[in-house]
Structure 1
Amino acid sequence: MSLLTTRRTRRRGPRRFSARDRAVLGVLLGIPLLLDLVIVWGPTLASVALSFTGWDGISDIEWVGTENYANLFTNYPQFWPAVRHNLLWLGFLGLVATPFGLLLAVLIDRGVRFSRFYQSTIYLPVVLSLAVVGFIAQLVFSRDQGALNAILGDTESPTDWLGDPDLNIWMVLLAAAWRHTGYVMILYLAGLKAVDASLKEAAAIDGASETQTFFRVVLPTLRPVNVIVGVITVIEGLRAFDIVYAVNKGRNGLELLSVLVTDNIIGEASRIGFGSAIAVVLLVVSMGFVVTYLVQEIRGEKNR
């Protein structure tokens, strides 16, 4: 018995990794970590450092302190419209596209006829890049040959949906929401499939209506999905670039912070230090939204 107990104890003890195991783990963990440092955090830290310089990419790097930020907030007229557009982008995706995606997920989860067809059709825009969505938006909203003006029969004085700065931001937001809704729908649909059916049955037995069951039983169980959707919505709202650049290069009412970064760093001005300052502002705003949202969700999870 003692020998058998000793063997079992040896089997249950912590496994010792061989030199080969440690080498494999080092490679599998080290390469992704190294790539993350080189591709993500390296350029990020470099941008932070360059934002305090007046470097143009050719001449010597000149330290200017906070001069780039002072000029950005006071003497750069495109900055504040771009900030407003980014916030509008974030609000539209978060308050319109995301709830609509949740509604579609709920309807499909109930088992409507042709649900597979609807699911595939609504998800189809997700496989397209935002640049392609921008080209599709041009085909739909173009002033002279657009499908929308053709449907409306507005040929004598067609509406310039993409040229009018009071209208184009909303048209582009509709195109971006078209893509974002399908992504949100799939995420929520996966979460709804994982909800325990007994919870709904118990709520129905207690006399709860379908609306009460959803908001008081189903939606709280979707908290992990809500976190994912919230973070994705913030990222999509703040990193938007492709679609507006495909429409009119992010000008005439479609200014975004990401476009300003590109125009200053790789444009004719080649103001790498100034463009880096805009990139740092975008980074801080993005991290602020994401960290605040995650902290609130973690606190809510602990209080449950």
Structure 2
Amino acid sequence: MTTTHARPPAAKQRRRGGVRRLSGRDKLVVALLLGIPLLIELVFIWFPALGTVLLSFTKWNGVGSLGTKSCLPNVPSIMNNGCLYGVQNYHQAATIYPEFWPAVQHNLIWLAVFILFATPLGMLFAVVIDYGIKGSRMYQSILFLPVMLSLALIGIIWEFMYSQNFGLINTVIGRNGDSNAIDWLGDPHLNLWAVLVEATWRQAGYVMVLYLAGLKAVDPTLREAAKVDGANAWQTFWRVVFPVMKPINIVIMVVTVIESLRAFDLVYITNKGINGLELLSVLVTSNIVGETQRVGFGSALGVVLLVISLVPISIFLFQTFRREDTP
């Protein structure tokens, strides 16, 4: 009598050592899921970034095809109506371009205000709302409202607030229509700080939402344990809750640096980034798509902006992961 053994199911045949082998269809799906986002990332982010770095070493106005013309002696060119310019764009920006250093200073001030004021203010809003005060839903909606508005609309709203003749602020302080009315957006000693109030108003709501998400993810048993140990609310937050939110802190730090250095809309609406409101993002735009169309020089300014943004992010990430790896 012969005994026939039933063949194991196909699903079991694909299992060896507890690991399922991918079929050809599975590999195709994985390749598409990984390849399409990677392709989009390369086309719209990495290739333009690399192209910007390369263009920063050229003198080109954005029109023309590849050629062999040269600007500097014994240096080959890559542009027909332009040429390889070496580091001259960077040298000119640092030495003879009058708006460069004020723009760098203003960007650093913008970054400092976001880190020292907007981020702590957003954190405070998040902690108070997470505490469960009465009407927290309403407060959360009100504070988040500026985030839903475009920066252009925010700039227009605050122009009515800062108006020298009919503005709300001058009306409240009794200088509306007076010869002593404060020109908040026209005075180069005041307009940067006035615009920073607008930016902080919006950024604080953005940070609040991010911290609220982090606070909701904290295990409630940690707070209960801290309360049993006799910790007050302040000690519980800084010694228990805040360290647990390290991933959120990293995200907020990166977002804060990016938002502060790519600031453009508010200052451009106010006075097109001149007369005390120079920023690197505005200079990049005015040189690349403005009347002069100095693509190479504008690209150099863009590379400077990229480097400035990478420095604080890299330092913060290095210090964070270094403390994490230290036993």
TM range (shorter): over 0.9
Distance in 2, matches of 1:252 and 1:75, equals: 18
Amino acid at match of 1:107: V
The 4+ residue runs of structure 1 with deviation greater than 4 A are 6-12
Is 1:140–2:145 an aligned residue pair? no
Shift, 1:236, TM fit: 0.6
TM-score (structure 2 length as normaliser): 0.87
Distance 1:227 1:202 in 2: 26
Further displaced range: 272-281 or 134-143: 134-143
Shift of residue 69, structure 1, vs aligned partner: 0.7
1:50-81 Cα distance to aligned partner (Å, 9 max, x none)? 11111112352211111111111111110011
Counterpart of 2:39 in structure 1 is 34
The corresponding residue for 2:130 is: 109
Q: Residue 52 of structure 1 aligns to which amino acid in structure 2? A: F
Q: Retained in 2: the 8 A contact 1:132–1:243? A: no
Match status 1:277 vs 2:297:
no
Give the match for residue 196 of structure 1. Answer: 219
Residues 195 and 218 of structure 1 are in contact (CA less than 8 Å); yes or no, is this contact kept in structure 2? yes
Q: Does 1:255 align with 2:285?
A: no
Distance 2:35 2:226 in 1: 49
Task: State the alpha-carbon separation in 2 of the partners of residues 24 and 192 from structure 1.
Answer: 36
Of residues 197, 206, 215, the one that matches 1:174 is: 197
Bigger relative CO (Cα 8 Å, ≥ 6 apart): 1
TM-score normalized with structure 1 length: 0.94
| Ranges in structure 1 where 5+ consecutive residues have no aligned partner | none
Q: Which residue of 2 aligns with 1:53?
A: 58
Question: Contact (CA 8 Å) 1:130, 1:242: kept in 2 or not?
Answer: yes
CA distance in 2, matches of 1:160, 1:172: 13
Name the counterpart of 1:44: 49
Contact 1:86 1:237 in 2 (8 A): yes
Aligned amino acid, residue 196 of structure 2: L
What is the identity, as a one-letter code, of the residue corresponding to 1:73? A
Deviation at 1:10, TM superposition (A): 5.4
Where is the helix percentage greater, Structure 1 or Structure 2? 1
The answer to whether structure 1 residue 160 and structure 2 residue 183 are counterparts is: yes
Of all paired residues, the percent bearing the same amino acid is 54
- Aligned equivalent of 2:243: 220
1:118-152: per-residue Cα shift (whole Å, max 9, x none)? 01110111111222211112121121222221222
1:56 and 1:181 map into 2 onto residues whose CA distance is: 39
Deviation of the 1:24 alpha carbon: 2.5
**Structure 1 residue 288: Cα displacement:** 1.7
* 1:293 corresponds to which of 308, 316, 322: 316
The Cα shift of 1:167 comes to 0.7
Deviations 1:165-193 (A, max 9, x none): 11111111111111111111111112112
After superposition, give the CA deviation of every residue in 1:17-50 in whole Å (9 maximum; x if it has no partner): 3323222322222222111111111111111111
Corresponding pairs, count? 302
